[in-house]
Structure 1
Amino acid sequence: MEKHGISPDIITFNTLLNGFCNNGPTDEAETVWEMMKERNLEPDAKCYNAKLRGLVAEGRTDDAAAVLERLEKDGPKPDTVSYNELIRGYLKAGRLQEAKKLYDDLGKNHCAANKGTYETLVPHLVQAGDLDCALRYCYEMFSSKRSSRVECGVLQDVVNALVDASRVEEAAKIVVLGRKKYYPRKGLRMPDSAKDSQLRAETNDEEAISEEECEVEHETEK
């Protein structure tokens, strides 16, 4: 590239970093970082996101946490993807509480959770039986102004878990809110195991609970 008189820019190096970090190990990525320094190119958040992804893939969660902490302090400012990468690292290491704390840090650092955040966290919360937190995240996802529409199966797992825990009315509210957010009837439903067959039928067929009622309930739970 340089032999042909074309100078690599930050996009070039970001592409290289993603390639090395996605396919690991990250040793070769360090060579790219040195090349950037030699050319006085300042890495941006996308470059650091690749670094975070590589560290997490290698199980170096604490090293990834140190990188994110340094970004928060010295810049460049981390973005939502930066936090998502470390959240994945914590969950991969079985450190759910730290992942939840990092979710709360998103807003404090002027970032917003997105589809990737919820699709990463919510299934682990359901698996851990932390349905209160899973429910809160679902409500926050529904109220988000940015696109954070998760795969329908993520919500269905929350609904199923709530029903199994005899929290049928809360499950029904998730179904109704999901319908109002354009999730298909066939994709998001009250399961047959719901004990209250009348409520199940009303939720699946008539959307009997209003969105406003669900929002009031959510505010009360806060």
Structure 2
Amino acid sequence: MFRICFLTDPPTADREPVPPGVNTDPDVLKTLTQYEGQNELTMGFAWYSDERFEVPAFDPSTQAPDGIDQILEINTDEYFVRFTQGLRPLTEDELAQRAAERAQQEAALIRQYDGIVQRHLDAVAKSFGYGDPNRPEVSPILHAISYAEEPAVERFMNEGRALRAWRSLVWVAAAGILNAVKAGERGVPTEAELLAELPHPPTQDPL
């Protein structure tokens, strides 16, 4: 059941966002105003929580609002209408559209995370002194790793190996965070939160 308050003379406190299961389509709201003393053209609505009324479960991944099942009460003293909200299963086309939207969102999230992680890897490698300004197509982290199997200068070889190992740990950690977001096990972290959860980079020995 839902409680919709009229704004012709409404209470002023505790207004909340309309719950996702409430159909706020104008044609639906118009149905609620068809009684004496109310002007459907100027009527406004807002949702107010009220422990007397239960909000039914609503799964937007499989259901959609579908008008009004039954008007239970029209209270002109307290300015509300109480009614049951109709719900319907999504059609095959709607389910396919939702799936396509989720796929697009996941692809965008992956691109965003990849960019954040890659910039972080390059920034650390650059702080070690790697990166060739004459070859901008080669990222600093790849430039550093190119020294990992070069024994001529032991310092460069050790730094290349350390940064290579760290890079692998970073990508594994980032993939775990992304999978948890996609599975709904956690929210989407900000860039700062993501970087804080990644393995710490190696330290560079002084010259």
Structure with bigger strand share is 2
TM-score, normalised by the number of residues in structure 1: 0.22
Higher relative contact order (CA 8 A, sep 6+): 2
Structure with bigger helix share is 1
